[in-house]
Structure formats: structure tokens, C-alpha cells
Chain A
């Protein structure tokens, strides 16, 4: 019974982390594709995005099965370490944004800047190489983060197929919603989602590096929920403390936009 609860706990955290991380990255990729499509035409934009998706699927097909053969202890230690670094970076950014020390990610501004850059480059007849490359690069680079999250979380939990399905569902949902709402991607609560992903990645990273270092967690996999709650509370406290130290002049930071 306890084993079943532990298993479902880790599955819920896995699904949540992969879905949110994939959604956030897909929103960023879609912003670029929409900007390219509206400015330079949809054919090259969709071809670039499609080529990037094929390349990313190839990476999962090559590295996914290979990772399953790495000894679980080593895999969880290495993957856990990567997740800790990655997750702490996300959490740090989300805390700084929530406390007003870093400008929030602004999809509208990114859209405007991409459109301006593409218009300045001038249109080309027939196949548009610039549009293809910009769409490919945008989807590939953002998608690479999805692939790394899927491979690391999926392989370490021995649930690679589930992680791939969840990521694919997130990509399809964002693509469909994005196609309907077009340029209203700025309404997505990206910072809150990044905060949640950061907390889950750090929780998983802590749990797996601990297992890789022969730490016996009390309660087994159920400890993941305790870690999620612990890091969420610590992040909330940090936001309050850091926001309280912010001088009034720094409030103007929200007017700009930042990457990642």
C-alpha cells in the first residue's frame, strides 16, 4: 500500500514537472514561430519548426534508450546533479522576478523585437532561408530544454515513455491554444509556472542525488512531496525577504523584458 502511494507520488511530480517545463518552453518557441510566420510567411516558418521537431525527436530516440542502460545509482547521481543546477537556476530567476529585481519575461516584447528584426532583414522570393533558420533555431533551442528534462526525469524514474507522452501532450496543447489565441501568449502565467518547475526539479534533484549517495530517505518516494513543500516554503520566504529590501527606484525594472 505504502509502495503504491510512493509510486503515484513520484509519478504525479514527474508528470507535473515535465508538463509545466514543456509548456513554458513551448510558449517561448511558439512566440518565435508566430513572429516569423506573421512577418515572413507560414511556409518557411512551419518548415523550420517541423525540421527542429524532427531533430529533437531524433535526439530522444538516440539518447533515451542509451540512458536506460546506465546503472541507476550513477544515473540518478549525475542526472540529479544536473537537475539541481538547472532547477536552482530557474528558481533563482523566478524569485528575482517575483521580488521585482528582474524584469518579467514578456512574450509581447519578444514578439515585437523578432518581427522588427525580420522586417529589417528584407523579404526574399520563394523559400525564405532567414525565416526557416529563425524558426528552426527558436524551436530547437527551446525544445532542447524540453528534451533534457524529459530524458533526465524519464530515464531516472524508469518512466521515459510516460515523460515523452506528457511532453508531447504539452507541446500539442500549447500549439493548438497558441494557434487559436495567436498573439496573446503574454497572458500565460510564465513566472509562476517557472517557479513551480524550479521547485519540482530541485526536489527531484535532491531526492535522486541523495539516493545516488546512498542516503535512505524516510518514507521512501513520499519524501518527494515533503521536499516540494519545503522548497516552496523556502522560495516564498525568500521572495518576501528580497522584495522587502527592494528600493523604490528599482520598481522600474518591470518595464523592460529579459530572456529565459
Chain B
């Protein structure tokens, strides 16, 4: 009885670890940035109904987040 439960636990843990590595991994700043950006754009689009601001800000904010993550990696590699 204990063995199947242990095996199920290992499978569940492996499944959770896969998604954690897949969505967070060594770049948690990207995951956090995407969630925050989508929250901001939701407020702009759904609450404020500012469509132009929403469709301009979404790609711009994403590139800023990417640039910040690349810069973080660059600083780490350079030892800054």
C-alpha cells in the first residue's frame, strides 16, 4: 500500500518540479514581470477602457522586462 503511494508522490513531485523549472527555473524575474505586466494591462484595458494605451504598453513593457532580465544575466556573468 505504501509503495504505490510513494510512487504517486514521486510522480506528483516530478510533475510539479517540471512545471516549476518550465515556468520559473533560473529566471523568476521573467515570471514575476509577465504576471505584473498582465495585471497592469488588465487594469488599463478592462477597467480604464484605454485600448490604445493597452495595445502599446503591452509589447513595450515586455521588451523592458526582457532587457532587465538580460542585463541581470550580463551583470552576473561580468561579476558586477
> A residues engaging B (CB < 8 A)?
77, 81-82, 84-86, 88-89, 91-92, 95-96, 99, 101-102, 144, 148, 202, 206, 209-210, 213-218, 227, 230-231, 234, 238, 242, 245, 247, 250, 253
User: Most A CB atoms within 10 A — which of B35, B55, B69?
Assistant: B55
> B residues engaging A (CB < 8 A)?
18, 22-23, 25, 27, 30-31, 34-35, 38, 41-42, 45-46, 51, 54-55, 58-59, 62-63, 65-67, 69-71, 73-74, 77-78
Question: Does the CB pair B34–A91 fall under 8 Å?
Answer: no
A96 to B75 CA separation, bound complex (whole angstroms): 11
Question: Does the CB pair B30–A88 fall under 8 Å?
Answer: yes
User: Most A CB atoms within 10 A — which of B42, B54, B77?
Assistant: B77
Residues of A within 8 A of B67 (CB): 238
Closest 9 CB pairs of A and B: A215-B54, A234-B63, A213-B45, A101-B77, A84-B34, A88-B30, A213-B42, A215-B55, A215-B45
Residues of A within 8 A of B65 (CB): 88
CB distance from A76 to the nearest CB of B (A): 12
B46: which of A213, A242, A250, A253 is its contact (CB, 8 Å)?
A213
Q: A245-B74, A245-B78 are in contact. List 14 more A-B contacts (CB 8 A).
A: A85-B30, A88-B62, A88-B66, A89-B30, A92-B66, A101-B73, A101-B74, A144-B18, A209-B41, A210-B54, A215-B45, A216-B55, A231-B63, A238-B70
CB distance from A65 to the nearest CB of B (A): 21
Question: Does the CB pair B38–A213 fall under 8 Å?
Answer: yes
A186 to B18 CA separation, bound complex (whole angstroms): 27
Question: Does the CB pair B45–A85 fall under 8 Å?
Answer: no
CB distance from A40 to the nearest CB of B (A): 24
Given A88-B62, A96-B73, A247-B78, verify A209-B27 contact (CB < 8 Å): no
A213 to B27 CA separation, bound complex (whole angstroms): 25
Residues of A within 8 A of B34 (CB): 81, 84-85, 88
Residues of B within 8 A of A230 (CB): 59, 63
Q: Which B residue's beta carbon lies closest to that of A83?
A: B34
A24 to B9 CA separation, bound complex (whole angstroms): 32
Q: Which A residue's beta carbon lies closest to that of B33?
A: A88
Q: Which B residue's beta carbon lies closest to that of A217?
A: B55
Question: Does the CB pair B66–A242 fall under 8 Å?
Answer: no
A209 to B18 CA separation, bound complex (whole angstroms): 23
A210: which of B31, B55, B63, B69 is its contact (CB, 8 Å)?
B55
Residues of A within 8 A of B59 (CB): 206, 227, 230-231
Given A85-B23, A213-B42, verify A92-B70 contact (CB < 8 Å): yes
